[in-house]
Structure 1
Amino acid sequence: MSSAPSSVGRPRSGARRLPSASAREEILDAAAELFAQRGYAATSTRLIAERVGIRQASLYYHFRTKEQILAELLEATVRPSLTHAESLGDLDAARALESLVRFDVGVLLTARWNIGILYALPEIATEPFARFRRERGELRAVYRRLAGSPTPGDLVFGLVESVIGMRRDVPDLPPAESLQATVAAATTRIIEATSMI
């Protein structure tokens, strides 16, 4: 009679961060927390591994570099909104823009960690982040198309992303639903104002 296979690898050095998550998801969560709180440069892969309770070698099984971890985290801040934008095909531009604004603000405000604060890092201009830059550019292009021209689209895109700074700087931030409605209403005013110019 054969016994059950033993688990592979060393046991974790503590309780799991997210009990129902995979090791990869736990690494991403720990990295997002550390990047958002300590900064990207001040966070090593060793520190991420320690936060998860695994050895650094185990982290490298899932991610070859710290850049790969950050790239995946950043892409996760824009990809859901791109997917949502693709589902808006039957709506007129104004309603589609409002829906996208509400959805995108929700993504940025309700993520467990405020990873959007890393958008301005100089490292983001390098090759490991090309996919993130491309996808963020695609999202900006959707805003421009729905707004009717580049300038109002860029204004709305910037307004949406301004919630990243608010999340960092405003201790008594209103609930996500309230900010979603406020940014959507401001979007309507921006489009109306720029159409009169």
Structure 2
Amino acid sequence: MSAGADEGPRRVGRPRADRLRPQSGRPPREELLCAAAELFTARGYAATTTRAVAERAGMRQATMYHYFGGKEELLAELLESTVAPSLVLGRQLLADSGRPAARRLWELCRSDVLLLCGGPYDLGALYLLPEVRGGRFAQFRRMRGELKGVYGMLLGAARADARPAGDRAGLAIRNDLVFGLIEGVMLIHRSAPARPVAVFAEATADAALRIAGVEAACREPVAGSAS
């Protein structure tokens, strides 16, 4: 994207304190991210200008450029925030080999749904933007690919536990389906936002185990699951 009047200069120097008019008491960087999330999901990414983001955050456009270089940088950070916590948890669950893999997979699914559906904005809808295929978003795509790989390793381990003979048929397609279910639940939740997110997350995790073909590996109740 070429630099234009809306994009303005990149961050230079220190922002003037008299240009900040925080609305919520959040730090300016967080204020800008919240404003961008609201506008990108409500108005659309292409229709949102950096000026609009700055004004919604309660600051001047020139001040915004001290924190972010433009819309792409705002979008990239928002997208990465939808993956990073699940990736950290997923790595921890992979290392926690003392518990059944199916339980760990269930926990990752549940936590991921809570993250994706528990916030005030439908950030998952931004995954479909054509801009996300650009080079600026390579880090997000890498993180998302690693998270999908974590799902696959947990799923493979769970199926190996359930089928000691080594029946791993259809592992890749099952992982695609499980990962697609987790990311797709935002559309389902958006159609009925009054549903309690915790109950919704547990039901989705239960469904993911059925798709994975390892439901029988969790005969005992999983800690934190709904009865």
Q: What is the TM-score with the length of structure 1 in the denominator?
A: 0.88
Q: Partners in 2 of 1:165 and 1:120 — Cα distance?
A: 12
* Aligned equivalent of 2:207, options 186, 189, 193: 186
- Which amino acid in structure 1 is aligned with residue 86 of structure 2? S
Q: Partners in 1 of 2:141 and 2:193 — Cα distance?
A: 31
Alignment map for 1:157-176 (pairs within 5 Å): 157-168=179-190, 170-176=191-197
Q: Partners in 1 of 2:193 and 2:139 — Cα distance?
A: 34
**Are the equivalent residues in 2 in contact too, given 1:114–1:167 (CA < 8 A)?**
no
Q: CA deviation at 1:37?
A: 0.5
Number of the residue aligned with 1:126:
134
Q: CA deviation at 1:171?
A: 3.6
Number of the residue aligned with 2:51:
46
**Are the equivalent residues in 2 in contact too, given 1:144–1:151 (CA < 8 A)?**
no
Alignment map for 1:106-121 (pairs within 5 Å): 106-121=114-129
Q: What is the aligned-residue RMSD (CA, Å)?
A: 1.9
Identity of counterpart residues, as a percentage? 46
Number of the residue aligned with 1:27:
32
Q: CA deviation at 1:8?
A: 4.0
Q: Partners in 2 of 1:82 and 1:190 — Cα distance?
A: 21
* Aligned equivalent of 2:110, options 102, 115, 120: 102
Q: CA deviation at 1:145?
A: 1.4
- Which amino acid in structure 2 is aligned with residue 151 of structure 1? I
Structure 1: segments with no counterpart, 5+ residues? 1-6
Number of the residue aligned with 2:161:
none
CA 1:171–1:98 in structure 2 vs 1: closer, same or farther (change >3 Å)? closer
Q: Partners in 2 of 1:172 and 1:72 — Cα distance?
A: 25
Q: Deviations over 1:170-189 (max 9, x none)?
A: 14441111111111111121
Query: Secondary structure of the residue that 2:18 maps to in structure 1?
Result: coil
Q: Partners in 1 of 2:142 and 2:33 — Cα distance?
A: 21
Query: Secondary structure of the residue that 2:46 maps to in structure 1?
Result: coil
Q: Deviations over 1:115-135 (max 9, x none)?
A: 110101110000110000000
Q: Deviations over 1:89-121 (max 9, x none)?
A: 223321110010000000001122111101011
